Amino acid sequence: MIVTALHDAEPRPRRLAVGTFDGVHLGHRKVIEGADTVLTFEPHPRTVIAPEGIPRLLTTFARKAELIAGLGVQELVVIPFDASFAAQTAQEFHDEVLVARLGAISVSVGENFHYGAKAQGNTAFLGADGRFAVRVVPLLEVDGEIVSSSHIRGLIAGGAIEYAGELLGAPFSMSGPVTHGEKRGRTLGYPTANLVPQSAFATPAHGVYACRVHLPGVEAPVAAATSVGVRPQFDTGLGELVEAFLIGWSGDLYDQVIRIDFLKRLRGEKRFDSVETLLEQMARDVEDARGLAGC
C-alpha cells in the first residue's frame, strides 16, 4: 500500500473511504470495504478542534496504516490536520479535496460522519453533491452495542481485552521502544521487556495478560506473559510499566521497538503474601499464556 500526503496525491479516479478510523475496528472495516483509497487525518482532528477532549488513541498512525493495508487498500492518503484545514468549509472539502485533488468517483463514510468547519458537513450534504457516488454505512451493532472507538477504549480500560479484540477485528496492541527497568524480573528468573505507556494511547487495566510479541527481525511472534501496572509487591518508585516475559526467548532488546498483542486477561494485579507465592503464581501465568498464545 502506498502512503501519500494529500498535497502529493496525483489526481486520478478513486473509490474513497473517508474517516479518522482510530483502531480500524469492525465498523470502520465496513466503511472501507470496496474502497481502493482511504482518506484519513493525522493527527486526530480533536487535537486541533477540541484539545481538552482528545481521546486516548487505540492505534499509532503506523499501526493504523498496517491494519488498513491488510484490508487490501491500494493507497492511504493523509490529510495533515491543522487549524487551516479545520477552517475549511464542507463545500471546499468537496471541491478542493474530493474532486480536484483526489478525483473521487465514489465516497464511503459512516452514518455519523461530519466534516468541514464547525462540522457543518454531513452525509446528506455529501450525497447532494452529485459529482460522485456516496455510500453511507450504518453504524454496526454487536451484542446490542454500537461498535465505536470510544466503546472499545472503555473495554480496554476495564480489562475486557479479549472482547475488545473481537470488536477491533485484531488483538489490541501497544508498541514502543524497550526501556530499562529495575531488572528485578531477571533476579526472579523472569526477565522482561518493558514499555512505558504513553498518555496519548489506550492502556489496558492493570493485571496480567496472555500476549504475542512481535520482535524486530524475528518472523514469528513470541508468546508472553505480560504485566501491566505498578508492581505492588515491591516498592520500586517507578510508575506504570508494561512488562512482557518472553516465553522461550532471550536476547537484548533495549531501545528496539516491539509490538505487544494482548489476547486475554489472566488476572488482576495484586500483592502476594510472599515472593515465593508470587513466583508460584507467575509460573502458572506463564503456562496459561503459553497455551493461549499458541506460539
Q: What is the pLDDT of residue 53?
A: 86
pLDDT of 12 over the 80 cut: yes
Answer yes or no: is 157 within a domain.
no
Instruction: Look up the CATH number of the domain holding residue 243.
Output: 2.40.30.30
Query: pLDDT per residue over 196-206, tens digit each?
Result: 999 999 999 99
- Domain count of the chain? 2
DSSP 100: I
Selected residue with higher pLDDT from 237 and 159? 159
Q: What span, in angstroms and rounded, lies between the C-alpha atoms of 272 and 278?
A: 6
For the stretch 78-122, pLDDT in tens is 999 999 999 999 999 999 999 999 999 999 999 999 999 999 999
* Alpha-carbon span 4 to 167, nearest angstrom: 28
- Evaluate the CA torsion angle 216, 195, 82, 113 in order and state its sign: positive
Range of the domain at 260: 173-293
| pLDDT number for residue 274 | 86
**Summary mean pLDDT of the chain:** 94
Q: Residue 270: what pLDDT?
A: 86
Claim to verify: residue 183 and residue 281 sit in the same structural domain:
yes
**Alpha carbon of 31 to those of 107, 112, 133, 274, 287: distances in Å?**
10, 12, 14, 52, 39
Angle between helical axes of 149-157 and 161-168 (0-180°, round to 10): 160
Q: What is the pLDDT of residue 85?
A: 96
Report the 10 Å Cβ neighbour count for 105.
Answer: 15
Residue 237 has pLDDT above 90, yes or no: no
Question: What pLDDT was estimated at residue 188?
Answer: 76
Give percent of the chain with pLDDT exceeding 70: 95
- Can you give the CATH number for the domain in which 46 is found? 3.40.50.620
The tens digit of pLDDT for each residue in 21-40 reads 999 999 999 999 999 999 99
CA neighbor of 110 nearest in space, from 151, 155, 71, 149: 149
Same domain for 104 and 194? no
- Which residues on adjacent β-strands are paired with residue 18? 39
CA atoms within 13 A on the CB side of 178: 22
Among 97, 130, 146, residue at a domain's last position: 146
> What contacts 152, CB < 8 A, 6 or more positions away?
23, 25, 58, 164, 167, 168, 172
Scan for cell 488476572, then name that residue: 267
Indicate whether 234 and 113 sit together in one domain: no
Residue in the block written with cell 492493570 = 206
Those residues whose C-beta lies under 8 Å from the C-beta of residue 52, and which sit 6 or more positions away, are none
Give tens-digit pLDDT for 134-165: 999 999 999 999 999 999 999 999 999 999 99
> Does residue 164 belong to any structural domain of this protein?
no
Q: Which of 59, 63, 79, 67 has its CA nearest to residue 18?
A: 79
Instruction: Report yes or no on 155 lying in a domain.
Output: no
Residue 209 lies in a domain: yes
